[in-house]
Amino acid sequence: MSTPSSPAGKAGSNTPAIVVLFGTAFSLTFLAVYQWLELIEVRTGKTPACAINETVNCATVWNSPFAHRVHELFGFPVAGMGVLWGTVAIALTFFWWSQSRRGLSAAAFVAALKAWAMIGLLSCITFITASVQAKAVCITCIGTYALTIGFAVGALKLLGGPILPPNKELAPGIGWTLIFTVPIYFGLIYPGQHTPMGDAAVKKVLDNHDPNDFAALMDTLPEADKLTTSWAREQWKKFQPRDTSMFPVHARKGNKDAPVKLVEFTDILCGHCAQFEGLLHEVEAMAPYGGLSIEPRYYPLDSECNPDMQGTAKNGIRCFGAKFQICTEQNPNFFIMRREFFANQSQLDQGMMVSIARRLGIDTDAVVECIKSPETEARLKEDIAYAKLHNISGTPLVLINGKMAPPAPAFILGMVLSGGNADAPWFLKLPPPPPDEEAGAPHP
């Protein structure tokens, strides 16, 4: 039988708690949904709005090993954890408000709100630690932390009563929390399974399967990655090659007559480019002899040297890095140097680039002079024009045999192993591609 509510936590006379709890819970849920949608775009090769530079870059945090472990463990990404937490917070707040305004006991829901707030605070500590380990700052994540703290203030302070409720109230409160959490959790599994997991899923499969049996490897990919691969294949097949005869090849790694010719446009501080560089290194090791050539091109994401960009970090690193690579392309240690640049991306600056190159025996004095030359400036403008011809929207931009290809790991690996045959048996076994709207990227 219901009993009148106690003054602590009574909703009718506690407008500040109502406003704070509902406001922060709804805001956090909407922010988490936005983060999830942005993550899908990241995993299909686009650059999110929250990726400002390599330090302030949500994509780096979302693609961290910790984030991948969360996705594998719970069945949906970290953003899904935010959706789960925020939705349960809304439900608990609603039932506390509903019970209390009817004069019924809301003590169990007060206890549940306090416990849920403390779980949220502990989660923030975990996620902040993961961000520190990833050496990046996620602006939207900071918003999540602030909203979680706001909710905790509402639950732990504005509701009144002790911070840690007595067991007779806490036990039923935890019970109500589970009643809401379990169905919401299982409801998020479906979209979680259809969220691409990125390079980590492919690398995990590569580590545990015979790379020569690519058909079997494709069978073991998560369903979301199969859909991403299928979508990437469809986009590549649809793309109409552009006339690029006005852009001569300046540097190439591999056989000039290789059946798969890959052109990549990168930015030296682009986190996705660094990940793609690592993937490409693995693909090279698995490629048939003479089966792959790689042509490096540059698209610095800085208005200082790229008029298509709207902002600049004013530190010159991106532009210096692009020109530095142009001036060292012919050196036999160029690709080793480039890999070291990407590996040290989080602390890379002009001095470090010079130091790495000098250690590899490159004449850095000549390179510095080359960077200042009009020929280098003209070459960089050429690369930017080449990328614009393909409506570049972010880096890396990847071309396979003259056709733009989403940087989907399994698709690129499959193309290399098939000698450029997009109708190889392992591709034909893939599920139908999702619509472009669901894939999170436009037609090329």
pLDDT in tens, 427-440: 988 899 887 644 44
pLDDT of residue 439: 47
- Regarding whether 209 and 177 lie in a shared domain, the answer is no
- Regarding whether 66 and 213 lie in a shared domain, the answer is no
CA atoms of 398 and 376, how far apart (whole Å): 22
4 in a domain, yes or no?
A: no
- Regarding whether 393 and 307 lie in a shared domain, the answer is yes
Q: Which residues contact 223 (CB under 8 A, 6 or more apart)?
A: 193, 194, 431
Q: Judging by DSSP bridges, how do beta strands 292-298 and 260-266 pair with one another?
A: parallel
Query: CATH number, domain at 164?
Result: 1.20.1440
- How many residues does the structure list for the chain? 444
Least confident range from 67-81, 83-97, 403-417: namely 67-81
Mean pLDDT computed over 152-175:
89
419 in a domain, yes or no?
A: yes
CA atoms of 300 and 315, how far apart (whole Å): 13
Q: How confident is the model at residue 203 (pLDDT cuts 50, 70, 90)?
A: low
Q: What is the largest CA-CA distance in the chain?
A: 87
CB 428 within 8 A of CB 306: no
352 in a domain, yes or no?
A: yes
Q: Which of 193, 221, 250 is the last residue of a domain?
A: 193
- Regarding whether 177 and 48 lie in a shared domain, the answer is yes
Q: How confident is the model at residue 443 (pLDDT cuts 50, 70, 90)?
A: very low
Give percent above pLDDT 70 in the chain. Answer: 88
67 in a domain, yes or no?
A: yes
- Regarding whether 237 and 180 lie in a shared domain, the answer is no
3-state secondary structure of 167: helix
Cα torsion through 170, 175, 177, 179, rounded to 10 = -170
- pTM comes to 0.57
124 in a domain, yes or no?
A: yes
3-state secondary structure of 403: strand
Mean pLDDT computed over 171-196:
90
Q: Which of 139, 165, 193 is the last residue of a domain?
A: 193
- Regarding whether 208 and 189 lie in a shared domain, the answer is no
pLDDT in tens, 98-140: 988 887 778 899 999 999 999 999 999 998 988 887 777 889 9
Mean pLDDT computed over 297-317:
92
**Which of 251, 233, 246, 160 has its CA nearest to residue 426?**
233
Q: Which of 152, 171, 193 is the last residue of a domain?
A: 193
274 in a domain, yes or no?
A: yes
Q: Token pair for residue 204?
A: 């995990």
252: buried, middle or exposed (CB in 10 Å: 19+, 13-18, 0-12)? middle
Domain count, the chain: 2
Mean pLDDT computed over 240-261:
93
Query: CATH number, domain at 429?
Result: 3.40.30.10
Task: Write out the residue range of the structural domain in which residue 55 sits.
Answer: 15-193
Specify the higher pLDDT residue, 167 or 323.
323
- Regarding whether 210 and 276 lie in a shared domain, the answer is yes
Mean pLDDT of the chain: 86
pLDDT in tens, 112-123: 999 999 999 999
- Regarding whether 375 and 354 lie in a shared domain, the answer is yes
- Regarding whether 239 and 180 lie in a shared domain, the answer is no
Residue 234 has pLDDT above 70, yes or no: yes
Q: Tell me which residue has tokens 């990407």.
A: 342
- Regarding whether 116 and 219 lie in a shared domain, the answer is no
Specify the higher pLDDT residue, 53 or 350.
350
Residue 215 has pLDDT above 50, yes or no: yes
Mean pLDDT computed over 188-208:
66
Backbone angles phi, psi at 395, to 5 degrees: -115, 150
CA 280 from centroid of its chain's CA atoms: 18
288 in a domain, yes or no?
A: yes
CA atoms of 249 and 102, how far apart (whole Å): 76
Helix (H) or strand (E) holding 260, with range, is strand 260-266
- Regarding whether 226 and 135 lie in a shared domain, the answer is no
Q: For residues 264-287, b (16+ Cβ closer than 10 Å) or e, as one string?
A: bbbbbbbbbbbbbbebbebbbeeb
CA atoms of 304 and 174, how far apart (whole Å): 55
Q: How confident is the model at residue 7 (pLDDT cuts 50, 70, 90)?
A: very low
Sign of CA dihedral 244, 246, 249, 250: negative
Q: How confident is the model at residue 182 (pLDDT cuts 50, 70, 90)?
A: very high
238: buried, middle or exposed (CB in 10 Å: 19+, 13-18, 0-12)? exposed
Least confident range from 42-56, 67-81, 183-197, 260-274: namely 42-56
Give percent above pLDDT 90 in the chain. Answer: 53
1 in a domain, yes or no?
A: no
CA atoms of 57 and 271, how far apart (whole Å): 8
Q: Tell me which residue has tokens 């890379």.
A: 348
Q: Which ranges of 287-363 would DSSP assign to H, the alpha helix?
A: 317-326, 334-343, 350-359
CB 136 within 8 A of CB 61: yes
Least confident range from 3-17, 283-297, 322-336: namely 3-17
- Regarding whether 212 and 189 lie in a shared domain, the answer is no
pLDDT of residue 440: 44
Least confident range from 40-49, 161-170, 294-303, 314-323: namely 40-49
